[in-house]
Amino acid sequence: MNPPQELKGKKGLRRLWNALGYSCDGIKAAWQNEAAFRQEILLAALALPLALYFGQSGGERALLIGSVMLILMVEILNSAIEAIVDKASPEKHELAKRAKDMGSAAVLLSLVNAAAVWVCVLWR
């Protein structure tokens, strides 16, 4: 798999700096184009301080924070799948629907996972 044209020939810190920029562009695109991502960012803004407060050990805090961060990661991947499916197949197609539905299911599972983690950690 070839790296993007902008990264070819770049090494070390320059390559990492460029990659960080592309990652920031991805987060910005998700924020601008995906209402669900904006809602989940707001959820994270509430949940992350609560995770630090309620987690009684480093492990508990890591579980609480990790479960919330997983939601954001899966949402971005789902949005990427939707974007590429829309680009590749703008007309309705069963495989396009399947891909989008499976991405949506992954987001749902990440939300269920987060709820389960929070219940397990906080219900003592």
State the catalytic residues. Answer: 75
Neighbours of 105 (CB within 10 A): 11
φ/ψ (deg, to 5) at 56: -95, -5
CA–chain centroid gap for 84, Å, is 16
Cα→Cα distances 16→21, 69, 86, 94, Å = 9, 22, 30, 39
